[in-house]
C-alpha cells in the first residue's frame, strides 16, 4: 500500500525544502540486449587523499566539533578539527617509528570511538592500510574462526582494541605473539600492551609531512572484510581514489551537505562501508560533526539512540531498516524526541535492506504531525567493493524500493540473465581487487572490466529510465522448481517479510527442485509475544507454540498465497524457528543479513520436515479453499 493510499493528509503535506542533485540518465542499448546507463553530468573534482580534508577543515574551522562521544559521566566528550589534526600527527609519527607498512598494516578489533577514528586517520596519513574488523568476530564468536582467518591474511604489525579486558580472549586466541597490542583502557595480563596515550605523546616530526606527501590516489587507504555467501571473510582493497571519488558522487546527489556542514548521530559500524566510507567520510569531507551513537537497533540498546537524538538534532539521518523499526516506538511515545529529531532534518536515508511500507508511512506521518512537513526518504545501492554508493535515488518517491540511477562517474551495465537484468559497475569508486587474493579478483570482473556485484535490477518504468531502478534480488539466491520455473527468492522473501510485519525479522525461501515453495521463518519474538499475550519472561519456544500466534501466521500465509500468480510466488508451508541465525555457522553476517544458502544447509532437517508427506505439528500450512 502506498503512502497516498494509507494517509492522504500526510501525502499531501509539503515536502521540507532540500537541495538535491539532478537525476537524468543516458541509456545505450546494445543488439544483444545489454544496457549501459550513465549520468550525463561529470563528476566534480575530488582530492587525491581523504586526509587533505582534515587539513582543510583544520584551517577553515579549527574549533568546530568534528567527533563527539559519550563519556562515562554521560557528558559529550568532543574533539575539534584542530584537536584531531594535532593528535593524528602524533599517532602517525608513532606508527612511522614502528615501521608499519603495507606488509604490516593496522588492525582494529573494537567498534566506533574517537580513538578508532584517530588511529585510522593517522594510518591513512602515512600510507599504511588499516582494517576495522567486525566486533562480533571477537565478542560473539565461540571459536574465533573468522577473526583468525582475517589476522592470518592481513599480517598486521599493530592491533588495537579499546578495552583490553573485553577483547583479551579474542586477542589471545587469534593474534600471534610478537604483534604489538594497543589498548585505550585495561592492558592485557597475558602479554605486553602499549597504551593509546603513549601513541598520543609521540612528538611529530617533518617525517610525517614527508610520508603524507607520498600518499596518492592509488595508495591503499583501508581493507574492509566482507564474508560473502561462502567461506571466510575476504578483504576488499579501498584506495584513496575510491573513498574520495565516492564522496564526490554522494555530494552530487545530496547537494545540501556541501551547503551546510552536516550534523549526524550515527551508530553504523565502521567495519562496513555504509558507516565508514559513506557516513564518516561524508562528515569529514564536508566539515561536519559526528556524534558517535553507542546505541544499537536491539532491545535494551535502542534507548541510548533515542536519548542521543533527543539531545542532538541531526541534519541527515542514516540507518538500516531494522534501525528505523526499533526507533519507531520511541518516536511515538516521546513528543520531545520527535520535536528535536525532526527540527532540522533534511533527509531520512536507508540502505542495507528493504524498508517495510508501514515504517515508511509512520515516519512520514510523525514528521507531518510534528513539524507540518514530510521529510524526504532516500536510498541507494552498492557494496563494499563500490565504496559503497554506486546507484542512488535523490528525488521524492511515494514508497520504499527505488534505488535510483547511476551516480555521476559510475557506469552501470545491465546484462540479460535468466529473465533478469544482472547489475555490473565501473567507475573510480570500484575496488581494484581483494587483498592477497588474485583468484577472487579475477572472478569478480567481466571482460570489459565491470565489477559483477551479483544483484539483479529492474526499471520502475522501462520506457523512462530516469524514473529509477528497483532491486530485483540476488542472482545467487534464485532457483528453479521441479517444473523448471524460476523463483525470484529475494523478491518473494521481501514480500513475505513485509506481509507478516512486524512478526517476522527475516525468512529463507526453500523449494529448489521441489514441486512447491516453503519458508523458514526467523520470528520477532517480542512482537510475537504480544500476539500470544504471554508474559515478558515466556521463553521463545512457548511463544512460538501459542495457538493464537500460529493461527495468525496461518491466516497471513493463506492471504499471501491467495494473492500469488502461480507456483513460483505461492508459499505453501512455514516453520517458525526459535533458534536465531548463527554467526559462527555463517547463517548471519555481522550486520544482521541472512546467508540463505548457509541456513538451508545447516537446517536441512527442517526443510525436509516442511516437505514430509505427513507434516509435523510444527508446520503451518495455508488453508485450502472449500
Which residue stretches of 15-112 are H helix?
51-60, 81-97
Take residue 156 and report the three cell numbers written for it: 598486521
The predicted-structure confidence for 2-26, as pLDDT tens digits, reads as follows 334 356 777 789 999 999 999 999 9
Take residue 447 and report the three cell numbers written for it: 571482460
How far is the C-alpha of 469 from the C-alpha of 429, rounded, in Å? 20
Residue 519, classed as helix, strand or coil, is: strand
How confident is residue 229, by pLDDT bands cut at 50, 70 and 90?
very low
On the question of pLDDT at 356 being above 90, the answer is: no
**Quick one: average pLDDT of 450-461?**
95
Note whether 250 and 408 are within 8 A (CB). Answer: no
CA-wise closest residue to 89 among 183, 197, 207, 244: 207
Take residue 281 and report the three cell numbers written for it: 567520510
Cis peptide before 388 (omega within 30 of 0): yes
Residue 330, classed as helix, strand or coil, is: helix
On the question of pLDDT at 615 being above 60, the answer is: yes
Q: How far apart are the first and last CA of the chain?
A: 29
How far is the C-alpha of 551 from the C-alpha of 305, rounded, in Å? 35
On the question of pLDDT at 400 being above 50, the answer is: yes
How far is the C-alpha of 179 from the C-alpha of 156, rounded, in Å? 7
On the question of pLDDT at 455 being above 70, the answer is: yes
The predicted-structure confidence for 471-513, as pLDDT tens digits, reads as follows 988 888 888 898 888 888 888 998 999 899 999 999 999 999 9
What was the pLDDT predicted at 480? Answer: 84
The predicted-structure confidence for 562-597, as pLDDT tens digits, reads as follows 998 889 999 999 999 999 998 778 888 766 678 888
Task: Identify the helix (H) or strand (E) that includes residue 528.
Answer: helix 525-532
Q: What is the DSSP track for 377-397? A: EEEEEE-GGG-SEEEEE-S--
Residue environment code for 283-308, b if the CB has 16+ CB neighbours within 10 A, otherwise e: bbbbbbbbbbbebbbeeeebeebbbb
List the strands of the sheet with 451-459, edge to edge.
Answer: 26-29, 35-38, 411-417, 420-426, 451-459, 469-474, 402-406, 389-393, 376-382, 347-350, 316-319
Average pLDDT, the chain: 94
**In the Cβ-directed half-sphere of 241, how many Cα atoms lie within 13 Å?**
13
Residue 159, classed as helix, strand or coil, is: strand
Q: What is the DSSP track for 429-460? A: TS---BTT-HHHHHHHB-TTS-EEEEEEEEES
Task: Identify the helix (H) or strand (E) that includes residue 36.
Answer: strand 35-38
How far is the C-alpha of 433 from the C-alpha of 40, rounded, in Å? 27
On the question of pLDDT at 312 being above 50, the answer is: yes
The predicted-structure confidence for 101-144, as pLDDT tens digits, reads as follows 999 999 999 999 999 999 999 999 999 999 999 999 999 888 99
What was the pLDDT predicted at 300? Answer: 85
Residue 487 gets which letter from DSSP? E
On the question of pLDDT at 230 being above 70, the answer is: no
Note whether 90 and 115 are within 8 A (CB). Answer: no
- What percent of the chain stands above pLDDT 90? 84
Instruction: Give the list of residues 6+ apart from residue 245 with CB closer than 8 angstroms, or none.
Output: 43, 46, 387, 409, 427, 428, 429
Residue 15 gets which letter from DSSP? B
Residue 337 gets which letter from DSSP? H
List the strands of the sheet with 65-70, edge to edge.
Answer: 76-80, 65-70, 289-292, 263-266
Give Cα separations from 353 to 43, 344, 490, 494 (angstroms). 27, 26, 11, 9
Residue 625 backbone dihedrals phi, psi, to 5 degrees: -65, 145
Burial of 593 (0-12, 13-18, 19+ CB in 10 A): middle
Take residue 331 and report the three cell numbers written for it: 518516536
What was the pLDDT predicted at 147? Answer: 95
Task: Identify the helix (H) or strand (E) that includes residue 196.
Answer: helix 196-200
* Cα angle 151-103-583, degrees, rounded to a multiple of 5: 20
How far is the C-alpha of 491 from the C-alpha of 419, rounded, in Å? 14
On the question of pLDDT at 425 being above 70, the answer is: yes
CA-wise closest residue to 150 among 271, 248, 242: 271
**Quick one: average pLDDT of 342-355?**
92
How far is the C-alpha of 274 from the C-alpha of 266, rounded, in Å? 11
The predicted-structure confidence for 371-399, as pLDDT tens digits, reads as follows 999 999 999 999 999 999 999 999 999 99
Amino acid at each position: 500500500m502506498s503512502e497516498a493510499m494509507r494517509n492522504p493528509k500526510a501525502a499531501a503535506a509539503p515536502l521540507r525544502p532540500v537541495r538535491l542533485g539532478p537525476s537524468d540518465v543516458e541509456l545505450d542499448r546494445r543488439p544483444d540486449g545489454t544496457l549501459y546507463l550513465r549520468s550525463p553530468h561529470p563528476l566534480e573534482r575530488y582530492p587525491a587523499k581523504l586526509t587533505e580534508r582534515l587539513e582543510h577543515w583544520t584551517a577553515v574551522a579549527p574549533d568546530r566539533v568534528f567527533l563527539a562521544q559519550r563519556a562515562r559521566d554521560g557528558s559529550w566528550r568532543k574533539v575539534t578539527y584542530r584537536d584531531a589534526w594535532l593528535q593524528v600527527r602524533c599517532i602517525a609519527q608513532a606508527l612511522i617509528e614502528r615501521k608499519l607498512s603495507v606488509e604490516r598494516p593496522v588492525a582494529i578489533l573494537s567498534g566506533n570511538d574517537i580513538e578508532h577514528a584517530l588511529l585510522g586517520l593517522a594510518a591513512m596519513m602515512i600510507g599504511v592500510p588499516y582494517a576495522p574488523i567486525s566486533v562480533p568476530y571477537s565478542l560473539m564468536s565461540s571459536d574465533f574462526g573468522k577473526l583468525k582467518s582475517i589476522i592470518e591474511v592481513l599480517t598486521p604489525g599493530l592491533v588495537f582494541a579499546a578495552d583490553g579486558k573485553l577483547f583479551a580472549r579474542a586477542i589471545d586466541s587469534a593474534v600471534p605473539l610478537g604483534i604489538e597490542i594497543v589498548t585505550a583502557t585495561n592492558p592485557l595480563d597475558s602479554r605486553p600492551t602499549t597504551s593509546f596515550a603513549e601513541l598520543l605523546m609521540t612528538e611529530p616530526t617533518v617525517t610525517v609531512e614527508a610520508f603524507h606527501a607520498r600518499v596518492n590516489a592509488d595508495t591503499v587507504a583501508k581493507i574492509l572484510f566482507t564474508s560473502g555467501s561462502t567461506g571466510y571473510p575476504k578483504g576488499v582493497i579501498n584506495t584513496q581514489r575510491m573513498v574520495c571519488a565516492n564522496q564526490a558522487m554522494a555530494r552530487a546527489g545530496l547537494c545540501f551537505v556541501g551547503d551546510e556542514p552536516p550534523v549526524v548521530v550515527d551508530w553504523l559500524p565502521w567495519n562496513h562501508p555504509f558507516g565508514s566510507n559513506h557516513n564518516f567520510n561524508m562528515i569529514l569531507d564536508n566539515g561536519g560533526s559526528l556524534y558517535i551513537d553507542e546505541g544499537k537497533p536491539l532491545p535494551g540498546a535502542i534507548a541510548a539512540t533515542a536519548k542521543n537524538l533527543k539531545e542532538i538534532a541531526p541534519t541527515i539521518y542514516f540507518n538500516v531498516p531494522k534501525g528505523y523499526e526499533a526507533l519507531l516506538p520511541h518516536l511515538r511515545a516521546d513528543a520531545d524526541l520527535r520535536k528535536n529529531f525532526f527540527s532540522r532534518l533534511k533527509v531520512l536515508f536507508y540502505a542495507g535492506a528493504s524498508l517495510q511500507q508501514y515504517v515508511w508511512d509512520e515516519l512520514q506521518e510523525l514528521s507531518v504531525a510534528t513539524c507540518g512537513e514530510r521529510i524526504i526518504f532516500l536510498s541507494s545501492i552498492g557494496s563494499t567493493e563500490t565504496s559503497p554508493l554506486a546507484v542512488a535515488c535523490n528525488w521524492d518517491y511515494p514508497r520504499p524500493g527505488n534505488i535510483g540511477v547511476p551516480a555521476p562517474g559510475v557506469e552501470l551495465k545491465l546484462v540479460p540473465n535468466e529473465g533478469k537484468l544482472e547489475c555490473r559497475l565501473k567507475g573510480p569508486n570500484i575496488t581494484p581487487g581483494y587483498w592477497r587474493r588474485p583468484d577472487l579478483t579475477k572472478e569478480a570482473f567481466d571482460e570489459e572490466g565491470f565489477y559483477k556485484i551479483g544483484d539483479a535490477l529492474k526499471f520502475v518504468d522501462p520506457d523512462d529510465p530516469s524514473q529509477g531502478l528497483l532491486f530485483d534480488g540476488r542472482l545467487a539466491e534464485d532457483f528453479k522448481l521441479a517444473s523448471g520455473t524460476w523463483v525470484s527468492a529475494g523478491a518473494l522473501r521481501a514480500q513475505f517479510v513485509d506481509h507478516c510485519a512486524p512478526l517476522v525479522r527475516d525468512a529463507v525461501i526453500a523449494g529448489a527442485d521441489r514441486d512447491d515453495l516453503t519458508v523458514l521463518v526467523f520470528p520477532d519474538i517480542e512482537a510475537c509475544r504480544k500476539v500470544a499475550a504471554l508474559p515478558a519472561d515466556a521463553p521463545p519456544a512457548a511463544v512460538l507454540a501459542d495457538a493464537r500466534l500460529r493461527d495468525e501466521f496461518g491466516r497471513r500465509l493463506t492471504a499471501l498465497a491467495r494473492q500469488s500468480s502461480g507456483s513460483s510466488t505461492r508459499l505453501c508451508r512455514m516453520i517458525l524457528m526459535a533458534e536465531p541465525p548463527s554467526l559462527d555457522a555463517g547463517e548471519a553476517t555481522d550486520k544482521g543479513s541472512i546467508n540463505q544458502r548457509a541456513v538451508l544447509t545447516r537446517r536441512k532437517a527442517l526443510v525436509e520436515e516442511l516437505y514430509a508427506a505427513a507434516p509435523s505439528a510444527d508446520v503451518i500450512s495455508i488453508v485450502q479453499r472449500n
